[in-house]
Structures are given as structure tokens and as C-alpha cells.
Amino acid sequence: MSDTANEREIRLGKLARLREIGYDPYAVESFPFTETAENLKDTTAQREGEVVPFAGRIVSRREMGKSQFLHLSDGADRFQIYVRKNDIDDAAWEALNLLDLGDHLGVVGSLFITKTGEPSLQVSELKPLSKSLHVVPIPKQRGEEQWYGLTDTNVRFRHRHLDLITNPDARRTLVDRSRIVTAVRRCFNAWGYLEVETPMLQQEAGGAAARTFSAHYNAYDLEVDLRISLELYLKRILCGDIPRVYEIGRVFRNEGVSNRHNPEFTLLEFYEAYADLEVMMQRVEDLFRTVATEVFGSPLVRIKRESQDGDIVSEDVAGFSEDEVVLDFGKPWRRVDLLSAIEEHSGLTAEDLSSLQNAKAALKNRNVVNPVTGKRINAEEERHLGGLIEKLLEVFVEPHLQEPSFVIGYPLETSPLAKKDPNRPGFTRRFEGYVLGREICNAFSEINDPIDQRERFQAQMAERASGDDEAHPMDEDFLYALESGMPPTGGCGIGMDRMVMLLTGARHIRQVMFFPMMRPEGHAPDED
């Protein structure tokens, strides 16, 4: 991004002149005012003549010789000011004329309504508060309509401040995200959970299957990994008789980027002693209902799909139309048994799914195809039944999980931290929540049998030895904690970014990340 040198020089020249005449914008430290543009607009009619201060970014300007109208934006809304040469001294008038769209301006004036009916402020004092040294893309608008603005997603993601200035949706998403996170915290605090923080730099990152980022710690001359989950440290706190904890924190996974993956993302995990799967499902239902109600005013969340560039917004419940989805977080989520769901949607039988051998044979002989791609399911590389079952879940079941749903009963091999299901060998007491076909949470009854946990880790080590470099590492410190005794515990993880995507209708994780990972411009990736 570069402005023409000319543009910048012109503005630097104006800045120099502002300083000469005693209106150095950067010298100002404060400009107190309390009312929002929206509030001023709403109350001007009742307060005509009242003198009030206001400040904001100059987003429009109409000059008429010895008077001019400008709109100042406080970010959320804009308010019109009217400046007449006769109302202010000559230096102030010159200062005003040295300002550009994009500069910040503070004014004091009296409220009035113009001939055309717009609430406005007739300015008696003004003070430039900052100068923009390059052209800020300011959208033009009339009512709800908007012209121009900034549409290049490349620029929007790399220079998010411009996106926030220009696109109301970007601003709305930021506000919504903040409110959602606040509402989540309020929920857990109300339920008696303690918010804790655990190490990001770890010697052996565990709790999930993912490749790590590494770093070097100079003082101990130690190679460390950035964490990939919160799980193991949180459970060590449970072992210390803190019965309800949660953490909302950044984790780092050294994997690819997609519309729903970013290498660093925000994970919520919560653990509750003496609680099982049922309680966890209850918590998830309560959480989504409460957050939706608190942030959007209703447990009914309306997700609207907008035209071209994939921007989607969610709004309140009024005025539905056809290309919208309405999710009701007010009612209990659907509950689905994982294996039964696969049988129902794939045509495979319980017999087929009873062993890896049978499953591979059935897929081979019966020409079972992926309903989306039409291609046959390739199961040859699967090393164990659990992996194949999860793959079948993705292909056949996920598309049917549009309504908020819990899928219950995950395979043992892919659930190294979940308690075994005593009634069903090879499966665990684990569920995942799905909404609109996407995984939204992962929960289970935590293993508190240290012998079992050790065996699971050993099984993972064997996986690792046979080539799965994402298999879970052994963690002796964690096992030592478990051996000291952890009460039966339910735990759950929710990707906050995906939760925000869901509730705000964002299609791309970059819309809710604000500063997503972007490949540097003009550099090819290194050869691997």
C-alpha cells in the first residue's frame, strides 16, 4: 500500500501549517465528551440550543464558501456538524480548511435541526485531534446504502483498521465477538467455575493431536513447543481439588490454513468434577442458549446468507426471508448415537462396522460412495477401525447435522483421554456437538484411572512408532497428578472462533480473527 508521494506531502504540508497557527493536532492530549453520535441524533429535537462537545473522524464534508457541513464518525454512527466562518475566529477557520477526510476533529457547538431535518451541531469551537497522513478509504453513505468502501479482502485482512473504518460488518463482528466472549465468561463464573491460565510454552505439547510450533528458551537452553490444547494442565488443577475450572486461551497448531482453520486460535475448555457426559451436554445447551440470548436478544439465532463476497450477518429475529437459517438454541439439542447414525446414512451394517477388516471389505465389495463427491471411500490407509469410523462420520453423517446435535460414542483409538464405555467395548464416553454440519465442541468423561490413562498413552506411543507423528506423547507429570487422585470429571472444549463464526454467520475464520495468519506478500514458500 502506498499513496502517491504527492498525497502524503500535501498532508504533511497541512500538518506543518496547522502547527504554525497553533492547532497542532498531535499535541492535544484529551478532548472530553460523553455522548455518542447515536444518542445526540436521538435527542437533538428535545435539546435545541444546548451546547455540547463531540469528536470523531471526519467522514464527509460539503463546503459552501463561508460555511461547511461535515459528518464526524464515532465509529458506531455519524453526527453532522455545521461550521460557519462568522461563528469562529479566523485561525480556527483556516485550521478547519487544513483538515481532510480521515482526520479526527473535536468540536463544541449548539444542537439544532437543519432545514432538511437532520440533527446537527452548529460549531463555536473546534480542535483538530489527529491528522491522517494518507487517504483513508471512507465509504459514502445515504441512509443504509453505501457506495465505494473497501472490498479487497487482501487489504481488509492485512490492514484491518481500514476494514473496521470502512465496513460496518467488520465492526459488528468485532463487537459481537467481544460480547460473546464476555457472555461465555459470565456463564461459567455464574456456574461457580474459576477462570485459570496455564502454560503456553511446554516441553511436550499434549491434549490434542496436532503438529506443534517450536521455540528456543535461552535461559535454560531448552527447546519448547507452543501448546496445542489446554486439557492436561487443566486436569492437573482438578487433581488439586479445584472442582470447576475453565480457560479461554490461544493454542497453536502447525497446520494448514482454510476458511475454518488458522494456525493460532482461541480455545475454551472447561472441566467439572463429579460431572459426566449428561452434565456436559447440559452445560453446552445452557451456554449457547444464554450467550445467544445475551448477545442477540433471543435464543433464536437468525443466520442470513448474503450475496457475492460471502459476507453473512446474523441479526435479531424480526423479518425472516427465504435464504436464512434460524437456529433455536432454546430447545435441547438432538442426540444421535454415532454408530447408529453411520449405519443409517451409509447403508453399512453393524456387522460391517464391527472390525476394520469387515469395514474395509464392505466398502470394497459394495461400492459405497461419498454422497457429495460420488467417489468411493478410500479406507486402505486406515490403521484402525476408530479412524475409519470417524471418516465415515464426516462423510455420511455430518451433512445431516444441521440442527444443534450431539453425536455420542466415539471410538477408543481416537479418544486417548476419554473414559471407556463400560457397556460397549472399543468405544468411549465422548460426544461432539454439531451445528450446521460443523463440529462445534468435543467433550467426554475424563479418564481418572491412571492405569488406563498410561495404557492409552502407551497405545499412542505405538501409533507414533508406526508413523503417526500426531499421536499423543507420554506425559509423566500428568500421570503423576492422576495417580494422586482426580475425581470423576466431565470436560469439554469449544473453539471460540468457530463459535463466533456460527453465531455471527461468518463464513471465513478470517472474518472473526481480526489479524489472521497471512502469507507475506511477494515471497514464495520455502521448499520442504
Partner RNA sequence: GAGUCGGUAGCUCAGUAGGUAGAGCAGCGGCCUUUUAAGCCGCGGGUCCUGGGUUCGAGCCCCAGCCGGCUCACCA
Number of residues that make up the chain:
528
**Rounded distance between C-alpha atoms, residue 312 and residue 42, angstroms:** 29
Q: Which is nearer to RNA, 3 or 38 (CB)?
A: 3
Q: How far is the CB of 118 from RNA (least distance, A)?
A: 4
Looking at residues 461 to 520 of the shown chain, list those that interact with RNA (rule: CB under 7 A): 470, 472, 507-508, 510, 518-520
**Rounded distance between C-alpha atoms, residue 110 and residue 133, angstroms:** 30
Q: How many CB atoms lie within 10 A of CB 164?
A: 16
Q: How far is the CB of 69 from RNA (least distance, A)?
A: 3
Q: How far is the CB of 102 from RNA (least distance, A)?
A: 8
What is the distance of C-alpha 374 from the center of its chain?
Answer: 33
Give the 3-state secondary structure of residue 476: helix
Give the 3-state secondary structure of residue 359: helix
Q: How far is the CB of 229 from RNA (least distance, A)?
A: 7
CB 473 within 8 A of CB 206: yes
CB 435 within 8 A of CB 458: no
Q: How far is the CB of 101 from RNA (least distance, A)?
A: 5
**Rounded distance between C-alpha atoms, residue 240 and residue 237, angstroms:** 5
Q: How far is the CB of 334 from RNA (least distance, A)?
A: 21
Does 450 interact with RNA (rule: CB under 7 A)?
Answer: no
Q: How far is the CB of 349 from RNA (least distance, A)?
A: 24
Does 409 interact with RNA (rule: CB under 7 A)?
Answer: no
Q: Which is nearer to RNA, 149 or 450 (CB)?
A: 149
Nearest to 87 by CA among 72, 107, 102: 107
Q: What are phi and psi of 276, to 5 degrees?
A: -120, -165
Does 62 interact with RNA (rule: CB under 7 A)?
Answer: yes
CB 342 within 8 A of CB 396: yes
Q: How far is the CB of 410 from RNA (least distance, A)?
A: 10
Site string for RNA, 66-95 (x = CB under 7 A): xx-x----------x-x-xxx---------
**Kind plus residue range of the DSSP H or E element containing 356:** helix 356-365
Does 346 interact with RNA (rule: CB under 7 A)?
Answer: no
* Selected binder of RNA within 365, 373, 423, 466 (CB under 7 A): 373
Q: Which is nearer to RNA, 183 or 493 (CB)?
A: 493
Looking at residues 92 to 151 of the shown chain, list those that interact with RNA (rule: CB under 7 A): 100-101, 112, 114-118, 120, 122, 134-135, 137, 140-142, 147-151
Q: Which is nearer to RNA, 68 or 448 (CB)?
A: 68
Q: Which is nearer to RNA, 110 or 293 (CB)?
A: 110
Q: Which is nearer to RNA, 16 or 350 (CB)?
A: 16
Site string for RNA, 175-214 (x = CB under 7 A): ---------------------------------xxx----
**Rounded distance between C-alpha atoms, residue 30 and residue 104, angstroms:** 12
Q: How far is the CB of 208 from RNA (least distance, A)?
A: 5
Give the 3-state secondary structure of residue 107: strand
Give the 3-state secondary structure of residue 296: helix
Does 307 interact with RNA (rule: CB under 7 A)?
Answer: no
Per-residue H/E/C for 305-326: ECCCCCCEEEECCCCCCCCEEE
Nearest to 505 by CA among 324, 369, 304: 304
Q: Which is nearer to RNA, 221 or 526 (CB)?
A: 526
C-alpha pair distances (Å), 417 with each of 202, 209, 244: 19, 11, 18
Does 225 interact with RNA (rule: CB under 7 A)?
Answer: no
* Selected binder of RNA within 414, 449, 454, 514 (CB under 7 A): 414
